[in-house]
């Protein structure tokens, strides 16, 4: 591929690169941050980045919302004019799952705070070792 | 789909995500994460996924912010990183 080809790959698909940046920010927070609440925020950023990627692959150029009126019932629908609604439905489930995981993770973080009086991972490790 | 608007909101989303992880006050991090969720909801409304957008507006920007604020209120506001 030529240099112009690479530049075109970066410029024309800029939204995918931004999704990759968001996923990397989330993964970095889950791995490198020491505070448990920051780790949970990173997990949520990773989840929403993946949901954003799936929603964006459903869009089409010049297409409209996948809602049919009364006069469309029973008629042929041109699929090039409506956005693909299947990834939307799947990601709707993913949003609900992400809120459930967020609630469980925050409850566990609160339990850990009640026991060890800190939310920092290294301090928790030190207290686990000395007890 | 207006690509300039989408591009500006995408940049704001990245800035908000980074700021939510960098700020040392956990309550500030929760508020910045709420802004991040709401910008994400705007992005999905632009992309034509209105059902996903209003689920995210109620669940992501509403309920998770309440969860975060409640958890920070029950634990501590300060963070070392």
* Domain-located, residue A100: yes
The residue that leads in pLDDT, A71 or A33, is A33
Percent of chain A beyond pLDDT 90?
Answer: 58
Nearest chain A residue to B15, by CA: A22
Nearest chain A residue to B68, by CA: A106
* Domain-located, residue A11: yes
Question: Is the Cβ pair A29, B21 closer than 8 Å?
Answer: yes
Task: Give how many domains chain A has, as a whole number.
Answer: 1
* Domain-located, residue A84: yes
CA angle in degrees (0–180, nearest 5) for A114-A95-B36: 75
Q: For residues A11 and A13, what is the distance between their CA atoms, to the nearest angstrom?
A: 6
Chain A nearest C-alpha distance from B19 (Å): 11
* Domain-located, residue A70: no
**Is A98 in contact with B63 (CB distance < 8 Å)?**
no
Interface of A with B in 103-122 (CB under 8 A): 103, 106, 109-110, 113, 118-120
On the question of pLDDT at A71 being above 80, the answer is no
pLDDT for the residue A124: 92
The residue that leads in pLDDT, A68 or B72, is B72
Nearest chain B residue to A99, by CA: B64
Range of the domain at A8: 3-62+76-130
On the question of pLDDT at A45 being above 90, the answer is yes
pLDDT for the residue B1: 58
Given CB atoms, is A29 within the 8 Å cutoff of chain B? yes
Chain B nearest C-alpha distance from A6 (Å): 20
pLDDT for the residue A72: 65
On the question of pLDDT at A10 being above 80, the answer is no
pLDDT tens per residue, range B66-81: 999 999 999 988 888 7
* Domain-located, residue A85: yes
* Domain-located, residue A95: yes
Write out the two tokens for B15.
Answer: 């800035």
Q: For residues A81 and A60, what is the distance between their CA atoms, to the nearest angstrom?
A: 8
Given CB atoms, is A84 within the 8 Å cutoff of chain B? no
* Domain-located, residue A67: no
What CATH number has the domain bearing residue A117? 1.10.287.3510
Structural domain spans, chain B: 3-74
* ipTM computed for the complex: 0.92
pLDDT tens per residue, range B9-64: 999 999 999 999 999 999 999 999 999 999 999 999 988 888 999 899 999 889 99
* Domain-located, residue A69: no
């Amino acid at each position: 591929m030529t240099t112009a080809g690479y530049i075109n790959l970066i410029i024309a698909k800029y939204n995918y690169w931004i999704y990759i940046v968001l996923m990397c920010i989330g993964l970095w927070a889950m791995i490198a941050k020491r505070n448990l609440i920051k780790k949970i925020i990173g997990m949520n950023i990773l989840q929403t980045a993946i949901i954003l990627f799936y929603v964006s692959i459903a869009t089409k150029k010049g297409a409209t919302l996948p809602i049919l009126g009364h006069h469309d019932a029973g008629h042929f629908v041109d699929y090039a004019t409506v956005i693909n609604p299947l990834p939307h439905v799947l990601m709707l489930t993913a949003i609900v799952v992400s809120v459930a995981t967020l609630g469980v993770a925050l409850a566990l973080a609160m339990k850990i705070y009640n026991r060890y009086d800190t939310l920092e991972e290294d301090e928790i490790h030190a207290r686990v070792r000395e007890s | 789909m207006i690509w300039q608007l989408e591009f500006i909101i995408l940049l704001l989303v990245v800035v908000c995500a980074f700021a939510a992880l960098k700020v040392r006050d956990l309550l500030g991090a929760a508020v910045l994460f709420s802004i991040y969720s709401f910008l994400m909801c705007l992005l999905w409304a632009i992309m034509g996924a209105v059902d996903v957008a209003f689920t995210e507006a109620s669940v992501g920007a509403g309920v998770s912010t309440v969860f975060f604020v409640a958890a920070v209120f029950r634990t501590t506001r300060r963070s070392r990183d």
